[in-house]
Amino acid sequence: MSDSKIDQIVQIIKDEFATDKFIPLHEPYFGGNEKKYLEECIDSTFVSSVGPFVDLFEQRIAEITETKKGVAVVNGTAGLQVALRLVGVQANDEVLTQALTFIATANAINYNQAKPVFIDVDRDTMGLSPSALNAFLEEFGELREGSTFNKKTGKRIGACVVMHTFGFPARIEELVAICDAWKIPLVEDAAESLGSTVNGKALGGFGQVGVLSFNGNKIITSGGGGAIVSNDVELAIKAKYLTTTAKVPHPYEYVHDELGYNFRMPNINAALICAQLEQLDFFLKKKRELALAYKSRFDQLGVNFRWELPNTQPNYWLMCVELENLDERNLFLKESNNSNAMTRPIWQLMNKLPMYKECQHDGLENSLYLEDRIVNIPSSVRK
């Protein structure tokens, strides 16, 4: 790729946002009832860990993810930590997941004193690969006593965490079938994929438990926050209990009968997310418009703009281009960031980080390929 081609990619970004000023990667958009609901919190004094917006949010997030019950939590990372405990992950277990993910996925496993095992992703979805998962389990899996054990390490495989990269759906239906066959609980890290669908069904509700994030850079935000969703009502009730200090219900006494957490989402954050949820369809529409505009221009230029697979509808949370190799990626990162268009490479693989460099992995061929080439480009909802 020539330097001029890189200049042209930068120019396309600037054209789409119609500015020469700094273009952030993803900025929040507050165009609805945000101020009104925040005022209601202050006027009512309900700013903290209980309140009507928390209840409303929990109801709405279950509806949107087409699950039976939702639980508001302080952030997505805490949600993942609890999700793994909910599905039965114990100290000394292993958890299968992708190396190509945000650090929170691996850390949540670590917080449960379990060890990640890194499986490759598919090159097209950038999410956990069913064929790689199958190959790993065929080679190392041994199903006994209702669990799968890793023949190499002797450890129990307590769960599998699938993450939908940048809102592009992983092959979740196939992954569910594999995990079911091996009796491995599946946790969906849907932190990036609120509003994405596979065959018309919302992400977040495919596994035993799904987790969402509403951090400031996500498609909608509560400032900071997350949710645990499930079709298993008992599990969701347990999620609420564990994230609210494991308190035994009583009108005035404090009795806690298990090690719980204070992972509650304050009502003031819930107010913000309730206002944002009202605009989700609008955001999804605007982001798709931008994705379509990018696609037509990048197609003309011969640049690989990541697009959806058949029967999937990504939320286009963070859009990305695939450069031809590491040198071009680095050149593009430098040129774009030097000229006011914020871009960012995909994550460094988890197995390269000091905390996870001893973890077992399967070679990670596609993950390594994508690590060298994928760059996120500005993706905000345009005013």
Ligand X SMILES: *Cc1c(COP(=O)(O)O)cnc(C)c1O
Residues near ligand X (CB under 6 A): 75-77, 101-102, 104-105, 163, 189, 191-192, 213, 215, 226
State which residue, 148 or 366, has the beta carbon closest to ligand X: 366
Locate 359 and state its tokens. 């973890």
Nearest residue to ligand X, scored by beta-carbon proximity: 76
Angle at 97 between CA 94 and CA 100, to 5 degrees: 140
State which residue, 105 or 267, has the beta carbon closest to ligand X: 105
How far apart are CB 163 and ligand X at their closest, in Å?
A: 5
How far apart are CB 353 and ligand X at their closest, in Å?
A: 15
How far apart are CB 271 and ligand X at their closest, in Å?
A: 17
State which residue, 81 or 244, has the beta carbon closest to ligand X: 81
Contact call for residues 194 and 217 (beta carbons, < 8 A): no
Contact call for residues 192 and 164 (beta carbons, < 8 A): yes
Whole-number Å distance between alpha carbons of 157 and 177: 16
The candidate with the shortest Cα–Cα distance to 332, out of 318, 346, 316, 352, is: 346
Q: How many CA atoms lie within 13 A of 43 on its CB side?
A: 7
How far apart are CB 84 and ligand X at their closest, in Å?
A: 12
State which residue, 293 or 353, has the beta carbon closest to ligand X: 353
At which residue do the structure tokens 């069904």 appear?
Answer: 201
State which residue, 49 or 215, has the beta carbon closest to ligand X: 215
Q: Any residues with CB less than 8 A from the CB of 129 and at least 6 apart, and which?
A: 119, 120, 121, 122, 171, 366
State which residue, 12 or 381, has the beta carbon closest to ligand X: 381
How far apart are CB 355 and ligand X at their closest, in Å?
A: 16
How far apart are CB 215 and ligand X at their closest, in Å?
A: 4
State which residue, 112 or 148, has the beta carbon closest to ligand X: 112
How far apart are CB 54 and ligand X at their closest, in Å?
A: 16
